[in-house]
Amino acid sequence: MLTKSVEFKRSNGAKVKVTDIPMLPEQHSKYFFVQLRLQCLFKNLYEDNQTISEVSFRTYLKQRIKWKDYVLIYEESMLKNNA
């Protein structure tokens, strides 16, 4: 699973880094769902005045969605013959 991180400034000028954002293909069944949750997180972080400087999107999703959906999003593909 490939993940990305994004860093941006809030409305008050503080920097925030969001890590562990999954890179899903557009054909994935949960692509729209992840984009929607990511947009909600960005909106909440941008408007919030807390002193949080780094947020894990993986942890955010784990707390807010059903486990079976979480596993579908962050499924680890097993390598064949350790290659």
- The three-state secondary structure class of 70 is helix
> What pLDDT is attached to residue 1?
74
Beta pairing partners, 54 = 17
Given this model, what pLDDT does residue 82 score? 62
Spell out the domain ranges in the chain: 3-82
Helix (H, G, I), strand (E, B) or coil at 32: helix
Q: What is the pLDDT of residue 79?
A: 59
Q: Is the pTM of this model over 0.85?
A: no
pLDDT in tens, the chain (83 residues): 788 999 998 888 889 999 999 998 899 899 999 999 999 999 998 888 788 889 999 999 999 999 999 999 888 666 566 65
- Among residues 36, 56, 59, 40, which one has the least CA distance to residue 48? 40
